Structure formats: C-alpha cells, structure tokens
Structure 1
C-alpha cells in the first residue's frame, strides 16, 4: 500500500477557499455563504485551475451542507459532483471541510438539536461514499473551538448560546458530532481515510498573572484545546477543565463515551494569524473576549507560529501543518509574512519537527463575517488576503493574480525541485 501523502517527507504547499456558511437569517441578520459572496459557486472551475497555477498540491475546500441537504431527508449533490469531478481531472487533492460553522436551515436549534450527531454523521457517510475515488482527506469540523465560542458563548451565531453553560453545551455537541463523523467516514473508506483535524491558535499574553486575570487566562489557555481534547479521549479526572464541564452538565458517562470512541488526527492542522492569534490581558482593563468586545491583540510573528506548531505536535502526537495563515494588508506586508512564515516552517523542519503542509488562506480574497450584521454592500467588507485579488467588474468578481501568488508559486516549485532531487537514484547523481 502506498504511503499517505503526509509521510512522503515533503513540505506540501496548498491553498484554501473560504467556506464559512451560516445560512440562517432574520430581519437583522443576513446569511453568510462565502461561496456566493465570492462567486465561487459560479467560478469554481476557474478557481480550482488557479490553485494549480500557483503550484498547489492540495486545496482545503468545503462541502456546503446546507446546499447538498436542503431539506430533511432530501439530498442534492449535483453542484458538488461537478466540482469533485474537476478535482479528479486536474489532480488537485481536496482536503474536505465537512462543517465550517453552519448547519442546514431545517435543523432546528442547529448543533444543540438532540439528533445533530446522527444528522451530521449521515451527511459525512454519504459524502465519503459518493466521492471515494476523489476525496480521502477530511476535516470533520473546521475550528471546533470557534464554533463553541461564536455559537455557544458569545451568542453571535445560531443557536446563540451564551456564557459558560452555552460554551460547554456547544463543545460537547460539536465534539460528539465530530467523533460520529470520523467513524462514519472510516466505515466508508477504511484505511484509505486521512483526517486533518484543524483548530484556531489561541494564545494569551500580557498581564496573565494579575489577580483579576489569572483564573480567566488559565481557563482560556486550556479551553483553546477543549474540543480536540474531548474527541481524542483526553478529558476526565485530572483534566484542567473537568470541574467546569461537570458544573455545566457534563457527566462521567460523557467522558467515558469520548474515551471509548476517541478519534485521532493523522495530521493536526494549526490555523495561525499573527495579528489575531495572540490576545492580551491588561491590568485594570476588562474585556469579555467576545466578538463584540475583543481583547487587544499582539503580533508575535513567527515566534508565535513556531510555539503553536510545537505545542500541537507535542499535545496530540501527530504531524502538524499550517492549515491557515496570512495577514490582511497591502502586498509588501503580505509578502513579508509569506517569506518569514515559510522560512520559519523550514527551520522547524530542519530542527526535526514533523511539519507536512503550509496553507495560504485564502486563495482569493474573502468577505468579513461582519457582513452578516450589516446592510452595506459586500465590497464594504472585503478582506485583502488572497493570492488573487477580487475585483468588482460589470461581469462580476474577477480574480486578479498578485505578486503574492508569484512568490507562493516559487516556494512550491522549489519544494518540487528538492523532492525530485531527493528521489533521483544515487547512480544518477553527479
């Protein structure tokens, strides 16, 4: 049997297409469907070709659950079928996000519906079976702790939970669906399945030892890993958050179920944004840390990236990859981050850390989540992040290649050359 891609010794370069889906709406909230906002739903064929044009080995790409499962018991895979067929035609490896924040609109109470784990695992099973010849790499839940925070603690996205009780309820529900999803995929694909678990880096610095911040900073530091700790069966007596979980309804039976059904990452994906991943505590100043009242952040650059990669590798005993990174800024600033972050990853590999991938996110620009609570046109929420700029034209959103794409392609080609050189028989060298 061929070795999986993440064991071939290479640093794989890839991109992602932003696939946040929060399709629920109200009189004051617009649905978010990044595929519609960026017109990827229309331009998907060209977009996949753009990924190949910059030398990508893989693309992190999400199935829109709310589209393929528009009503309970009804399935429509027609759009995804065409995209998946194109992945196969051009030889671009999809790493499939199955859940990137949103559930179908028919699923009442979203993640807290009592049958959510059953519904999401059925969806995963159907997808894995349908696309078995094209897709074997899956991310069951992208950034599960962001799900728990935005949907469970901050009351920002459905089902609008708040506080510690909401956080615990969402964490347990998302984690149970996560586990059921991974098992469902294994039932379809067996040992061919590869699982890239992905979560957001969350670092806390500043006055973390100040009396008014010490307990909160300690909780948040452990909380950043909560869902991954649950799904890998690591939560029980002795876990730093076990008392918090128990005080909000988690039981020993819950912990036993996660232990008995634990799932592991083949690759641990780390999302790191230098300007957002490190939050600061300040003496005498209180911030809720919620989306509406964020703590200040500090850019710790590649030092923060290296720390988080090492920490995830050590905590979960798996190869790691940079699953998302970029800065939202002008071209020179983005180029500087691309150069420095790729060099940091290469230095860590030279030091023996098993890093298997680097993902620039996203392939093309995206629109900020604030679009949901705004009445302004989409262009007011544009985030300049991509290898390709999104440009408004009379024909819709054009993709304009920028110098970051050229530099990214240079890095990818360099890796290809080095891999080819390493693969040459000894008799061919010299």
Structure 2
C-alpha cells in the first residue's frame, strides 16, 4: 500500500497549539495550552470542527506530563477517547509526542541523563497502545527553538544560558529523537515519521561569522539525527568546543535515522529576523511568500525528502489572515507544479493560542489570547471559551475540497 505521504496528494491539515511547560516557580506560571484554551473539555468539539473545516489531517499533541504522571505508570483514559474519536471522524493525526515540556518527575528536565531513554520509552508505550489507530509521529517539535528557550536564553527549564547551554540541550533532544524513532519503528514498522522544525531566516548586517553560524545552527537538530555531522560539518568544532565528545558524535552517525517527511514551520511576520546595522537591534521582519519559498527550497535542497508546511498562519484581523491563506496556498500549489515534493499544508493554530509570555506574567489569561486561527476564541458570560468561526473556515474548506476534486 502506498503511504499517505507518497500518494501525490496535497494534504490539508490544521493544528492545535499544544505547548506544555508544567514546571512552576517564582514568577513563572504553568503553561499548558490545552488547559488554557479549554481543549481538555472541548476536545471532541474541536476535533469535529477540524474535520468539518475540510482538513484531512491534524497535528495534535499528547501531554506527556499528564499521561505518565510517574515513571512507567500511564493514564490512558483521556487519550483513549480522543484517539477513538479521531478514527470515527476519519481525521489522520500526526502525533506531536513532545512539544517542549517534560514530566514533573524528571528533575533537571532535558538535562537529566535519563531524558533520552525516558522520552523513547514513553513514545514506545504510546505507539504500542495505539498502533491500530495512529501511524504518523513527530518525535519532537522544533528542536532548535526548544534548545534556544531551554538552553540558550534560560526562559524555560532547565534554564541554561549561552552557547554551552544550547549545545547541551540540543544534544539531549537529538538523542531522544533518535531513540524515539528507533523504538516506534520497532513497535510499528509501518510508522511514518514527520520531523518538524522551525525555519529561521535572517536579513540585515551581522558581525563577522555570526550570520553563517546561525544559518548552520538552524539545521543542527536534523543534521545530528540524520548522521550528517561528520568531520567536515561546519558545526562540529562548535559542538566539541562545548563538550560533545567524539564518541557521542560517532553514536549519532552509527544510529542515524531518516525522516519520511520534513515539516517546516513558517510565519510570515516572525520567521525572518532583521538586524539593524546602526543599533544592533534584531527584530522580526515581514517576509511574505518570498520567505516561504526561500525556506522550502532550502530544506528541499538540503534533505531531499518530501516536505510538509506543518505550521503557518498570521495574527491580526480576519482580512489579513484570509489574505495570507490565499497567498500561501497559491504558493504551495505553484511550488508543487514546479516539481517540489511538497505534500501538505497546515494552518496552525486552528483556533487562538495563548502567548507564551503568559508564563512570566500576572495578567489574566485573556490578555494573552492571540487570534491567529480559523476560529477565534471568545469568553462568554459563563467563562466558556466559545469557538467563533471566521471567514477563513469556509475558504479553507473550499481550498481543501478543490485539491480533492
């Protein structure tokens, strides 16, 4: 049987924002997007809305910290119901196994020496339980952003900083990704692996060597897991200078895994950063479809695998979101016509998300609602976050239906 990613179709997907950072501390609130957006309560309605909007696939994540509340002890009650409903409505799920947060019992989070084995054991348990219903997996979403937030900027646990912290975290994440794919493939040989990363771009004037460093570093997660960090890799010296041993690098080469699909996340107003030469300030720059085209070509040329736009959208007024939907889908069709192996398009998030800055604040959650979806979230008098359809719903459905005709 031809796998879905080789059936020549353009798959239309939506995604539900699923960042989980459950660790709390002084000045730091728990960040669980499902809890904040009431998805735990409205999950059935949310998934049915996704299918009704014309999506044939969905990016949806499992909250590891909740389903494995203690090591090796799983609570499947909620996920059993979700997975059953996904089957009932015919929505293929690309499962986000890891979307930033680790369980509370894993001290030092990603830095814990047990992390790679722990995340792989969790993933194997999920794959074994749902092997008859789920077959498409993302071992870890956006490893580079994960390493930046947790290892370079000290924003999320374990709060490391600088190049040394970044290298420690990205190495641990990559080990976990490799072991996760290996364990799932052993449990489910028919599994499909969609490795997803955020695509970064930079413009403006940068100090000598800094731009080149950033442009190579953005691929480090995927390059490590695919065994590409050989003797001539431009990031090898940087890794060894920050404690990665030759034996560790050899392990990645010997245990290399190959994604079936490369997922590229792109936001026209955020993915590209511009550095002002006069002030040295770095700010997001609008890059439109030009940035999307550039990024997809970059990943296609580097990895030679089928590509899936696994996240794209725009915040702001509905008219601006609708315009980006039209432009981005038209661009995807054009690139496919030119021969790019581009197999999917995802509007992400399906409904509004809560800005990550909520975690560091004391303001009410509604202050941080960012309307980026096909549906807006609006709190009613009973404090229920109602899913309010926008004009994007009908247009997304029409665009999806046109590809299936």
Quick check: 1:271 aligned with 2:270?
no
Residue 133 of structure 1, CA deviation? 1.1
RMSD: 0.8
Instruction: Tell me whether 1:402 sits opposite 2:390 in the alignment.
Output: yes
Residue 159 of structure 2: aligned partner: 160
Q: 404, 411, 416: which one pairs with 2:399?
A: 411
State the partner residue of 1:98. Answer: 97
Counterparts of 2:40 and 2:146, CA distance in 1: 24
Structure 2 residue 242 is the aligned partner of structure 1 residue 248 = yes
Q: SS of the counterpart of 1:19?
A: coil
Does the CA-based 8 Å contact 1:152-1:160 persist in structure 2? yes
Deviation digits for residues 229-275 of structure 1 (CA, Å, limit 9, x no counterpart): 00010012111111110100011111110011111111100000011
Alpha-carbon separation, structure 1, partners of 2:43 and 2:20: 16
1:366 aligns with 2:353: yes
User: What is the distance in 1 between the residues matched to 2:51 and 2:215?
Assistant: 38
Residue 191 of structure 2 is aligned to residue 197 of structure 1: no
Question: 1:386-411 CA distances to partner (integer Å, 9 max, x unpaired)?
Answer: 11110101331110111011111110
TM-score when scaled to structure 1?
0.93
Task: Specify the SS of the correspondent of 1:318.
Answer: coil
CA drift at 1:27: 2.4
2:148 maps to 149
Q: Report the alpha carbon displacement of residue 365 of structure 1 after superposing the two structures with TM.
A: 0.7
Contact 1:364 1:387 in 2 (8 A): yes
Distance 1:116 1:33 in 2: 20
Equivalenced residues, count: 404
Which stretch shows the higher mean deviation, 388-397 or 354-363? 388-397
TM-score, normalisation: structure 2: 0.99
1:135-193 CA-to-partner distances (Å, cap 9, x unmatched) read 10000000010111000000000000100000000010000001000001001101x10
Matched, 1:27 2:44: no
Q: Deviations over 1:293-338 (max 9, x none)?
A: xx21211110110111111111111000100000111011001110
SS at match of 1:327: coil
Once the two structures are TM-superposed, the CA of residue 73 in structure 1 deviates from its matched residue by 2.7
Q: How does 1:310-321 map to 2 (within 5 A)?
A: 310-321=297-308
Gaps of 5+ in 2: none
Divergent runs of 4+, >3 A = none
Structure-2 residue corresponding to 1:169: 168
Q: Does 1:349 align with 2:333?
A: no
Deviations 1:375-427 (A, max 9, x none): 1111100101011110101331110111011111110010111xxxxxxxxxx
Q: Which runs of 5+ in 1 are unaligned?
A: 288-294, 418-430
Matched, 1:323 2:310: yes
Asked if 2 retains the 8 angstrom alpha-carbon contact of 1:271 and 1:325, the reply is yes
Give CA deviations for 1:348-388 in whole Å, capped at 9, x if unaligned: 00100010000000111111000101111111001010111
1:390 aligned counterpart, secondary structure: strand
User: 1:37 and 1:214 mapped to 2: Cα distance?
Assistant: 43
Distance in structure 2 (CA, Å) of the matches to 1:274 and 1:228: 22
